[in-house]
Structures are given as C-alpha cells and as structure tokens.
C-alpha cells in the first residue's frame, strides 16, 4: 500500500475540520484553498502537532494513529517546513543542518550532501542565519527538513513570507525536489502559480472540508465544480519542449493530444515542462477558420458543458486526445455554433503560459 489514508474530525469554536482522504504516496499533493479553509490544520494533524477529536492516519500501510495508537511527532518519519525557517541563530548553516541529522533515521534517504546540492546552499554553509536573505533562509530550512531523511515532506506555505523576487528564486529548487526525489510532498498553498508549477495531485478545501481532489489536470478540468487557480478556470498540461524556432523566438511543446506554440523561454528541447491554458483564452469554431493571428489550432470533441458563474456564459470542455481543454463562451455563441456533447470542434488557443 503506497497511499496515505487520513481521517480527521476537529471541533473548535467557530471552526470544524471534517476530512476523509486517500492521498498518493508519491509526487507533490497540493492542499489548496483560501485562508481559513483548513489546509494548515490538516497538515498539522498529519504531523501530529494537533490531536483531533477523532483521527486515523496510516502512511503506506503503517499506522501512525487510530483509536488505539498515537505516534508522537518526533517518531513520525517526516520533515516539516514552516512559513518561516526558524533557524538556530547561534549556529552556522552547517550547524543547523547537522542538528537536523541528529534525529535522522539510520537509513539516509537524503544525504546531507544531496540536500545541500538540491537547494544550492554549498556557498552558505559557514554563514550565520542573520547573514542570509529570506530566500536563502528558507532554502536552508528546506534542506534541514530533508536532512532528517524523512519518508514524507510537509510544507506549510513555504514561500508565503517572501516577496515575488525571492519566490521566483526558490521555485526552481522546489521543482528540483519534485523531479529528483521520490519522497512524497504535501504542499499547503493558496498561490495558483505554485500549485500549477509543482502539484501532481490537488486537494481543494473550503470551510474545513474537501470539495474536490484528484490528479491536477483532471481536477482542474471538472465542470461540476469548476476549480479556479486564481482569476479564471483553466487546465495545466504536462508537456515536453519539442522544437525551437529561433527566427521567431518561439517554442513548440507537445502534450498528450497535440502541440502548442509559445514564446521561447530558453527551455531546451527534450525538457519536460508544464503549460497553463485559461478558459478565457480558448475559442471554438465549427469549421476550418481562415487566416488568423491565432497560431494554436487543434481538433477535438465536446465532452461536457456547464453553466458558468454569469447567467450568459458557459464553460465547455473539449477532449483533445488524452487531454482536456476548457473554453468560456457566451450562450449566444454556443447556440450559434450548435455546441453539444459529442460535437467535433476546432479549438483555437490564443495564449499559453509556460510554467518555467
């Protein structure tokens, strides 16, 4: 059993948590929702930092807690990264990392050298925390959490306290953790960009309950409960850079269903990446369009239609190969095009955001 089974009931004045989840034991699972939705409370329950009214937790078949068992936090094989790194000020970076090693299991899943390399902090080892930037402190905090050789890494909005420049500095390191480590990560965030770039699995929370969960691309493509990462509905597609057009500074990325052109961001051919396509940037046509400034045109069939927030709008899901794309249309446009489930359509994608 590779899954994480979590059932928690928490009752506090003005707040309750009621969660029954099965999560994958690999990849990055994002806990996403607005402030106060219960994301951090759920993470703290998993860590054993909160003792819920009712709780059951098993990790890959090992019972961490139930009505008969309670494994305290220090005996749970986990690493925890908080919003603030909270490094020991009297210790150097290396001293902070070595402190983490003291509670590591005898089986070192992540060596100190690997943690230092993954987070790019070799040049910081002799510094004290007061000589580090906010981004550097957080990278050290993540490395310290890895130094305990955890079987799971819990991250509670690790970039929330950083400005945009420092967030952009750290995100590539988090992507390295995602790509190079087999340790599952539970990642709390209310940032659409972080979720789109890092998550494999998405759990959406509201008022202490799970309102949707599943693989990222499938969950974002749901129309029964449209999930908006930020300002609009849309999907995230796993892709690989297939071609660079040096003349026009464009890159072509292939996904399970076709390919798309986007601006060249310097990502080399063969490199895996993600593309984010917003519903507002997708239009539909019933036949071959004429000359157009829109360069991304694909064929697919409508497999779902649902009302959007505005009474005059629809969300249409189009299946293209093994992938889904969302389009927002006015109801008048949908009627003119004869939009219905099963109808073949031409999909025109005006803009694609490459997740660098």
**Per mean pLDDT, which of 185-194, 216-225, 330-339 is the most reliable?**
330-339
Task: Report the pLDDT value the prediction gives residue 57, as an integer from 0 to 100.
Answer: 96
Q: Identify whether 228 is part of a domain.
A: no
Q: Identify whether 111 is part of a domain.
A: yes
- Model confidence at 1, pLDDT cuts 50, 70, 90, reads low
Are residues 212 and 289 part of one domain?
Answer: no
Supply angle C-alpha 268, 271, 272, rounded to 5.
Answer: 145
Give whole-number Cα distances, 3 to 17, 29, 184, 190, 349, in Å: 21, 12, 10, 24, 37
Query: What DSSP letter does each residue of 248-304 carry, written as one string?
Result: TTEEEEEETTEEEEEE--SPPTT-EEEEEEEGGGEEEESS---S-S--EEEEEEEEE
Q: Which residue has the tokens 């390191």?
A: 173
Q: Which of 220, 245, 279 is the last residue of a domain?
A: 220
Q: Identify whether 116 is part of a domain.
A: yes
Are residues 311 and 187 part of one domain?
Answer: no
The backbone region for 337, taken as left when phi is positive above 0, alpha when psi lies in -120 to 50, beta otherwise, is: alpha
In this predicted model, what pLDDT tens digit does every residue of 111-122 receive, in sequence order? 888 889 999 999
Are residues 192 and 139 part of one domain?
Answer: yes
Distance, in Å, from the CA atom of 110 to the CA atom of 166, rounded to the nearest integer, reads: 25
Residue 138 has pLDDT above 80, yes or no: yes
pTM of this prediction?
0.90
Give whole-number Cα distances, 304 to 257, 278, 299, in Å: 17, 17, 16
Task: Report the pLDDT value the prediction gives residue 273, as an integer from 0 to 100.
Answer: 92
Are residues 266 and 184 part of one domain?
Answer: no
Residue 89 phi, psi dihedral angles, 5° rounding? -70, -25
- How many helices (DSSP H) and strands (DSSP E) are in the chain? 8, 20
- Model confidence at 105, pLDDT cuts 50, 70, 90, reads low
Q: Which of 220, 251, 274 is the last residue of a domain?
A: 220
Residue 106 has pLDDT above 60, yes or no: no
- Report the DSSP pairing between strands 209-215 and 201-206: antiparallel
Are residues 319 and 292 part of one domain?
Answer: yes
Cα 126 to chain centroid distance, Å, stands at 33
Q: Identify whether 115 is part of a domain.
A: yes
Task: Report the pLDDT value the prediction gives residue 161, as an integer from 0 to 100.
Answer: 85
Task: Report the pLDDT value the prediction gives residue 30, as an integer from 0 to 100.
Answer: 96
Residue 29 has pLDDT above 60, yes or no: yes
Residue 229 has pLDDT above 90, yes or no: no
Are residues 22 and 55 part of one domain?
Answer: yes
Asked if residue 120 lies in contact with residue 153, where contact means CB atoms within 8 angstroms, the answer is no
Tokens of 280: 């507002």
Task: Report the pLDDT value the prediction gives residue 163, as an integer from 0 to 100.
Answer: 87
Distance, in Å, from the CA atom of 134 to the CA atom of 163, rounded to the nearest integer, reads: 9
Task: Report the pLDDT value the prediction gives residue 168, as an integer from 0 to 100.
Answer: 87
Are residues 251 and 195 part of one domain?
Answer: no
Residue 224 has pLDDT above 60, yes or no: yes
Closest CA to 119 of 99, 101, 145, 100: 145
Are residues 203 and 285 part of one domain?
Answer: no
Asked if residue 128 lies in contact with residue 119, where contact means CB atoms within 8 angstroms, the answer is no
Q: Lowest mean pLDDT: which of 70-79, 146-155, 230-239, 307-316?
A: 230-239
User: In total, how many domains does the chain have?
Assistant: 2
Are residues 145 and 215 part of one domain?
Answer: yes
Q: Identify whether 323 is part of a domain.
A: yes
Task: Report the pLDDT value the prediction gives residue 101, as an integer from 0 to 100.
Answer: 77
Closest CA to 346 of 281, 289, 293, 261: 289
Residue 342 has pLDDT above 60, yes or no: yes
In this predicted model, what pLDDT tens digit does every residue of 284-309 receive, in sequence order? 998 776 667 788 999 999 999 999 88
Helix or strand or coil: residue 82? coil
Task: Report the pLDDT value the prediction gives residue 91, as an integer from 0 to 100.
Answer: 93
- Model confidence at 65, pLDDT cuts 50, 70, 90, reads very high
Average predicted confidence (pLDDT) for the chain = 90
Task: Report the pLDDT value the prediction gives residue 255, as an integer from 0 to 100.
Answer: 95
Q: Identify whether 65 is part of a domain.
A: yes
Cα 63 to chain centroid distance, Å, stands at 26
CATH number for the domain harbouring residue 162: 3.40.50.300
Q: Identify whether 226 is part of a domain.
A: no
Give the neighbor-by-neighbor strand order of the sheet with 313-320.
282-285, 344-349, 296-307, 313-320, 323-330
Q: Which of 220, 242, 272 is the last residue of a domain?
A: 220
Task: Report the pLDDT value the prediction gives residue 103, as an integer from 0 to 100.
Answer: 62
CATH number for the domain harbouring residue 321: 2.40.50.100
Are residues 286 and 239 part of one domain?
Answer: yes
Are residues 11 and 42 part of one domain?
Answer: yes
Determine the structural domain holding residue 257 and report its residue range. 234-355
Task: Report the pLDDT value the prediction gives residue 292, as an integer from 0 to 100.
Answer: 75
Task: Report the pLDDT value the prediction gives residue 31, as an integer from 0 to 100.
Answer: 96
Residue 200 has pLDDT above 60, yes or no: yes
Q: Identify whether 227 is part of a domain.
A: no
């Amino acid at each position: 059993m590779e899954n994480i089974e979590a059932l928690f009931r928490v009752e506090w004045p003005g707040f309750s948590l009621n969660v029954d989840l099965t999560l994958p034991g690999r990849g990055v699972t994002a806990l996403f929702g607005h402030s106060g939705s219960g994301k951090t409370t759920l993470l703290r329950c998993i860590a054993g930092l909160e003792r819920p009214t009712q709780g059951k937790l098993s990790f890959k078949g090992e019972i961490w807690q139930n009505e008969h068992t309670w494994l305290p936090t220090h005996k749970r094989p986990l690493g925890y990264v908080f919003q603030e790194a909270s490094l020991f000020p009297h210790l150097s970076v290396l001293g902070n990392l070595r402190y983490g090693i003291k509670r590591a299991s005898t089986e070192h899943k992540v060596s100190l050298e690997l943690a230092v390399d993954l987070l790019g902090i070799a040049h910081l080892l002799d510094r004290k925390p007061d000589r580090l930037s906010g981004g550097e402190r957080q990278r050290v905090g993540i490395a310290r959490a890895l130094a305990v050789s955890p079987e799971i890494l819990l991250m509670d909005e690790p970039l929330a306290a950083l400005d945009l420049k420092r967030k952009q500095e750290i995100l590539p390191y988090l992507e390295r953790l995602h790509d190079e480590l087999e340790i599952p990560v539970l990642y709390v965030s209310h940032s659409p960009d972080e979720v789109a770039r890092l998550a494999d699995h998405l759990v959406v929370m509201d008022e202490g309950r799970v309102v949707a969960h599943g693989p990222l691309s499938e969950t974002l493509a749901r129309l029964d409960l449209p999930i908006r990462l930020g300002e609009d509905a849309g999907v995230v597609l796993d892709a690989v850079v297939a071609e660079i057009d040096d003349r026009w500074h464009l890159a072509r990325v292939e996904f399970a269903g076709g390919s798309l052109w986007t601006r060249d961001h310097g990502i080399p051919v063969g490199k895996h990446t993600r593309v984010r396509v917003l519903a507002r940037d997708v239009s539909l046509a019933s036949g071959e369009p004429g000359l157009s400034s829109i360069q991304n045109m694909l064929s697919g069939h409508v497999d779902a239609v649902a009302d959007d927030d505005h009474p005059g709008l629809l969300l249409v899901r189009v299946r293209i190969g093994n992938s889904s794309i969302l389009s927002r249309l006015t109801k008048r446009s949908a009627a003119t095009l004869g939009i219905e489930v099963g109808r073949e359509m031409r999909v025109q994608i005006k803009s694609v955001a490459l997740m660098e």
